Amino acid sequence: MRKKVKWGGVLLLLIVLIAYSKPTEKYFEIAKSLDIFATLFKEVNANYVDDVDPKKLIKQGIDGMLGSLDPYTDYIPEEQIENFRITTTGQYGGIGALIGVVNGKTVITHPYKNFPAYKAGIRVGDELIAVNGVSVKSKETSDVSTLLKGQPKTEVEVRLKRMGQKEEVVLKIKREKISVGNVSHYALLEKGVGYIQLEDFTPGAAKEVAEAILELKEKGATKLILDLRNNPGGLLHEAVNIVSLLMPKGVDVVSTKGKVEDWNKTYSTLNNPIDTEIPLVVLANENSASASEIVAGALQDYDRAVLIGRKTFGKGLVQTTRVLAYNAQLKVTTAKYYIPSGRCIQALDYGNRAEDGTVGKFADSLKKEFSTKAGRKVYDGGGLDPDMLISQEYLGSVTEALLVSGYLFDYASIFTNKNQAPVNLKDFTLSEQQYDQFMEWLRSQNFKYTTGMEKNTRELVESAKEERYYADMEPQLNQLKKQIDTNKANDLIRFKSEIKDLLEQQIAFHYNLVEGQAAVGLKRDEAVQQAIAVLNDPEAYKKILSPK
């Protein structure tokens, strides 16, 4: 059946490809292909040896067709429309809390401030036992989330287990309309330097950034840091409106160009700005994409901001939502976008797949040189290059394992339920004794992990056995394994600095959510500290934005 499904996807793909043919041929081929697909589907449904689910079969055919295009073109059936709406608007009816699975338990990972769960006293790390009497054990997080969501003003009962307490906690919470903000944190980091962390581009993003800028300026901010790291993007017009806050009215921000010429458009700043002169740093990394790259790219092209961090994701494609029959929708890539210098920063070339279907990046030989307004050289075809590069930090295997396994999260839950929050989280650090207690607890959990060296050694042993060298090499290989085991035994001490740092940030998040984590983490954040240094050095700032 899989082969037939794949052929169904190929036949559907013909409909898209034939659109490039002459009109008469195109319409004939569309009708022909649809007729073939319909009769093929009927024959499979009627004659295949096992019963088939028609809805599932068609969905696989559609996915096969769209999967040959790009990952952003997506079919959204009626039953998934609500989830799609929540993703694009950030709004839903519920209690206002993120959930996740940590060490086999469904736990509250983030109760949003000032929403029902937070006001009811739910904490980070609380284990969810049941919702309205329905056990959540072994349920997918999406199913548990569905149980928690509902119409505003309706009541939901949640049963929780809290670290350090024997009795379960039962709470009845009235749902509200939840609108998750785009600006997760803003603060005055030090005298004159304001910081804004923007995590999304859902409706209202520009308004939130504007409010943050104005409040920071009232508090004395004369320089700004806009943090777009790990921001996947969102609504294009919100990106344009954010640039409008910092650029003069009437300048071009982004142009979209696609096959349907009537849809091609140039978006310019429409509103009066808040401040066109305040020194500005934008932070970005490999997870900054789409609308984030429009904001960062436009500000870089106009030499309005210093871009600090790492090369961005490289998503230069625009999607439009089209309504289909039976309340379904199609999110389809309709254009590429171009920032003011004229460059498109799309990194992957979906139009030229290899024979095996893989997608490669645009070749360096095809990349073109462009210029910012001041004449600085910039390039297309692979994301935005930062003006100041922050090298990627690679965590030790033990640290990665602690993060992925959820042990840091669990211990933070234990710690915060046993210890009162410090008066000032900015000064919070774990003592040597407290770190020793963490290591002791970790040993009691039978924590295990595999290092990269262990994996490589196992592969080397297997290779030696296959090629019949093992007998000669066995003493050396055994010695290597012993040395790795010896080193591994000391990993909690060897990587103490980075483990302790992440654990302290997790504890701070448990105490006071994003604000707590920022209080501990930003002063240790290399990109943030580099941004502060540049903003406090007018000559260095000016030099970076000048042509080389």
The CATH superfamily label for domain 91-179 reads PDZ domain (2.30.42.10)
Tens digit of pLDDT for each residue in 460-505?
Answer: 888 888 888 888 888 888 888 888 888 888 999 999 999 999 999 9
At residue 22, the pLDDT reads 58
The residue that leads in pLDDT, 353 or 309, is: 309
Residues 436, 442 contacting (CB under 8 angstroms): no
d(CA 160, CA 168): 6
Q: What is the pLDDT of residue 24?
A: 67
Contact 309, 257 (CB under 8 A): no
Q: Is 21 a catalytic residue?
A: no
Smallest Cα–Cα separation from 151: which of 182, 174, 184, 117?
A: 174
- DSSP states of 170-234: EEEEE-EEEE--SEEEEEEEETTEEEEEE--BSTTHHHHHHHHHHHHHHTT--EEEEE-TT---B
Do the bridges between strand 329-338 and strand 317-323 make them parallel or antiparallel, or are there none, so unpaired? Answer: antiparallel
- CB within 8 A of 425, min separation 6: which ones? 508, 511, 512, 516, 519, 520
Is the CATH number of domain 183-321+335-392 3.90.226.10? yes
% of the chain at pLDDT higher than 90: 67
Catalytic residue among 70, 74, 252, 301: 301
Asked whether 96 and 147 are in contact (CB, 8 A), the reply is no
Would you say residue 260 has pLDDT above 60?
A: yes
Other Cβ atoms less than 10 A from the Cβ of 44: the count is: 16
Any residues with CB less than 8 A from the CB of 232 and at least 6 apart, and which? 200, 287, 289, 290, 292
The residue ranges of every structural domain in the chain are 2-68, 91-179, 183-321+335-392, 393-548
Give residue-wise pLDDT tens across range 178-189: 988 999 999 999
Helix (H, G, I), strand (E, B) or coil at 70: coil
Q: Among residues 315, 387, 397, 491, which one is catalytic?
A: 315
Residue 13's pLDDT is 52
Q: Name, in order, each residue with C-beta under 8 angstroms of 219's C-beta and a sequence gap of 6 or more.
A: 188, 194
The length of the chain in residues reads: 548
**Active site (annotated) includes residue 290:** yes
**Mean of the pLDDT values across residues 519-548?**
96
Residue of 33, 145, 244, 290 marked catalytic? 290
Cβ burial of 325 (10 Å; 0-12, 13-18, 19+) is: exposed
Place of tokens 């290591």: 439
**Whole-number average pLDDT of the chain:** 90
Q: For residue range 117-135, list pLDDT tens digits in order.
A: 999 999 999 999 999 999 9
Q: What is the CA radius of gyration of the chain?
A: 27
- pLDDT of residue 14 exceeding 60: no
Q: Is 70 exceeded by the pLDDT of residue 409? A: yes
315 is catalytic: yes
Q: Is 68 exposed, middle or buried (0-12, 13-18, 19+ CB in 10 A)?
A: middle
Q: Three-state SS for 94?
A: strand
